[in-house]
Structures are given as structure tokens and as C-alpha cells.
């Protein structure tokens, strides 16, 4: 059985969501499983604990999202389902800091924000950021910005900005999420991203098929743009980058057609990445963090897990 996602609690690291649909608790030196009733007939694809750690969300291939909470009387985790809102598999989930709003992305090309308020689990004052009449599973906003699969949705530390990526080499930023959101997108010439992380309110790290973390930043006007790769000090101009990519592609195809070479036999002008050699599909913050994240980890299809320290990237926080 394939493990598709795992989620750790931030406060004590004693619980995690594992692929066999259990919440595992570390008691003494032994891991003790607690059953989770997911009610799914397709694979669970992604999981994330809520900020208050009293709920967790599971996205699935069944076009549904499960919101799970602990039931003391039966000693198990039960779930309430957000049904008939997605038209395809749910690829990522992300909790708003208020512990109620949940953002999702899907292979139907849309990003959605739902209310997950559960009576008896969430306090009434936790709905202060939304309408007091919102019910569980109510769709707050649906974003149709992408024409391709969408992945890696994340909220900024304040919860005022939402970011997610598309399989069309675009990243989307949405402010004032609600009935009238303010959206903008950044197009880049490189390979698509799979996940993103806010390291501050106006700085985002994106990872994906280019095998190297990409830095995006917003200026004083709130306009987002690509800054550089983490492995280089200065972003290459769009013109020179386009020329190098065109030359690289020409060499590849010319070599294959004339000499019968495969892709690996032709030397390229650009290295894949300094740490990862295949797609990076996950990025997570490390250690205690408030509004600024200085360390994070990445994992990729090359089987590697890397830890990145932004203390040596002072220009990113100037």
C-alpha cells in the first residue's frame, strides 16, 4: 500500500496521520493507533492538522474532503464530509489560522474555500472572520483562475493572502478571500510547481519539477514577482532564460533525431538542481516559527529529504 501523505502535530510531535487511516500516539516508547472513520471509497491523497490541532482535513480521490475530529466516548476519530463540491480529486488542503476556513485545490483546476465549523468542537468566536450564518461545508469562494490541475494551496501567516499553483507554470495569489477577492498570477518559463510555503507575509518559496526552490516576493504595492532560485544570487533575465531554454531544447531534439540519442545522452546548459535531482513535491516549515520561517525541509521523487536554512539568504529579508 502506498503512503500518500503524513501530518504531524506541531506542539508535541506525538501524533501523526498515517496511510492505514489511524492517528498514532506515542505513549512511553510505543506507538498506539487510534481508528479514524474516513468513509472513503477512494484513496486519501493529502492531510493536514488544523492550527488548534483538534481537527484534521483529508483530501481524497473520491472528490470529497473529510474533516476529522476526536470522539471521546468511542475513542475514535470520526469525519464529516464535504461532498459534491469538487469535480475531481482533491490534491491539497490548507487551514486558515482561524481554524475554521479550509482551502482546497483539485485536478478540476479550481481552488475553493470552505467553512468547517463543527458545533461542539469549534468555539463560536472562531467564526468571527466569516458570516455567523455559515454552516459546515458551505462554499465561501471558488477561484477559477487556472486552466489546468491545481496544487499546493497555502495561507499566509495572517490569513489575508492565499497562494496556490497550477500545472501550467503559473502561481496565483489571492487577497481579501471572500465574495470579491483580489487575484493576481505570476507566469514563469520554467517547469510547473507542486507546492508552496509562505516564509513571511510577503515571501513565498515554491518547489516543483524544476528541482530547485523558487523565491517569489511582493513589493510595497503588493505586486508579486519571481525573485530567484535559492541556489543562485540573481534571477536570470527573461530574455536570456528563454534563449538558453530554446537552445537546450533544440540541442536535445536535434541530437535525438540525427544521432539517435536519448535525453540523458545530451548535455544541457542548465543543471537540474543543486540538491534534488527529481521533482520536489513537498515543502514544510521546521522548528518554532511565528511570522518568519527561517528553516524548512523539502522532499522529492528522488527519495531525498533536504533541510534549507535561510539565515544565509539575508537578501530575502531585506
Residue 104: strand, helix, or coil: strand
Taking CA atoms, 154 is separated from 13, 180, 261, 300, in Å, by 21, 19, 41, 19
Name residue, grid cell 515571501. 203
pLDDT digits (tens, 9 = 90+) for 168-192: 999 999 998 877 889 999 999 889 9
The full set of domains in the chain, from first to last, is 1-181 (2.130.10.10), 188-318 (2.130.10.10)
Q: How far apart are CA 5 and CA 79, in angstroms?
A: 17
Rounded to whole angstroms, the Cα distance separating 30 from 279 reads 34
Q: What is the pLDDT of residue 14?
A: 52
Contact by Cβ (8 Å): 79, 44 = no
Cell digits of residue 234: 540573481
What is the 3-state composition of the chain as percent helix, strand, coil, each rounded to the nearest 5?
A: 10, 40, 45
DSSP, collapsed to helix, strand or coil, labels residue 174 as strand
| CB atoms near residue 159 (< 10 Å) | 15
In the predicted model, is pLDDT for residue 225 greater than 90?
A: yes
CB neighbour list of residue 159: distance below 8 Å, 6 or more residues apart = 96, 97, 98, 101, 129
Displacement of CA 85 from its chain's centroid (Å): 20
The pLDDT value recorded for residue 21 is 79
Record the pTM.
0.82
- pLDDT in the model for residue 104: 96
Mean per-residue pLDDT over the chain, rounded? 82
Alpha carbon distances (Å) from 89 to 46, 60, 204, 224, 234: 10, 6, 25, 29, 37
Q: Does the pLDDT value for residue 213 go beyond 90? A: yes
Confidence of residue 267 (pLDDT cuts 50, 70, 90): very low
Contact call for residues 65 and 106 (beta carbons, < 8 A): no
- Tell me the percentage of the chain whose pLDDT exceeds 90: 52
Amino acid at each position: 500500500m502506498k503512503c500518500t501523505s503524513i501530518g504531524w502535530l506541531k506542539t508535541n510531535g506525538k501524533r501523526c496521520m498515517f496511510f492505514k487511516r489511524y492517528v498514532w500516539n506515542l505513549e512511553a516508547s510505543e506507538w498506539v493507533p487510534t481508528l479514524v472513520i474516513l468513509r472513503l471509497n477512494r484513496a486519501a491523497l493529502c492531510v493536514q492538522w488544523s492550527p488548534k490541532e483538534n481537527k484534521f482535513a483529508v483530501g481524497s480521490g473520491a472528490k470529497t474532503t473529510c474533516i476529522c475530529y476526536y470522539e471521546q466516548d468511542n475513542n475514535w476519530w470520526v469525519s464529516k464530509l464535504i461532498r459534491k463540491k469538487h469535480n475531481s480529486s482533491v490534491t491539497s488542503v490548507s487551514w486558515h489560522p482561524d481554524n475554521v476556513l479550509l482551502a482546497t485545490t483539485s485536478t478540476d483546476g479550481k481552488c475553493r474555500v470552505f467553512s468547517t465549523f463543527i458545533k461542539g468542537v469549534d468555539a463560536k468566536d472562531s467564526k468571527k472572520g466569516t458570516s455567523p450564518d455559515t454552516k459546515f461545508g458551505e462554499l465561501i469562494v471558488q477561484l477559477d483562475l487556472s486552466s489546468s490541475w491545481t496544487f499546493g494551496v497555502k495561507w499566509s501567516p495572517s490569513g489575508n493572502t492565499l497562494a496556490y499553483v497550477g500545472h501550467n507554470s503559473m502561481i496565483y495569489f489571492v487577497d481579501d478571500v471572500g465574495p470579491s477577492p483580489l487575484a493576481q498570477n505570476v507566469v514563469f518559463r520554467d517547469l510547473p510547481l507542486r507546492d508552496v510555503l509562505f516564509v513571511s507575509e510577503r515571501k513565498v518559496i515554491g518547489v516543483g519539477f524544476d528541482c530547485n526552490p523558487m523565491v517569489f516576493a511582493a513589493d510595497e504595492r503588493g505586486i508579486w514577482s519571481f525573485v530567484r532560485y535559492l541556489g543562485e544570487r540573481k534571477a536570470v533575465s527573461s530574455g536570456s532564460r528563454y534563449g538558453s531554454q530554446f537552445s537546450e531544447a533544440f540541442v536535445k531534439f536535434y541530437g535525438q533525431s540525427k544521432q539517435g540519442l536519448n535525453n540523458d545522452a545530451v548535455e544541457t546548459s542548465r543543471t537540474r538542481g543543486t540538491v534534488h535531482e527529481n521533482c520536489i513535491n513537498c515543502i514544510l516549515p521546521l522548528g518554532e516559527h511565528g511570522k518568519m520561517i527561517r528553516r524548512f525541509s523539502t522532499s522529492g521523487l528522488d527519495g531525498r529529504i533536504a533541510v534549507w536554512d535561510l539565515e544565509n539568504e539575508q537578501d530575502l529579508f531585506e
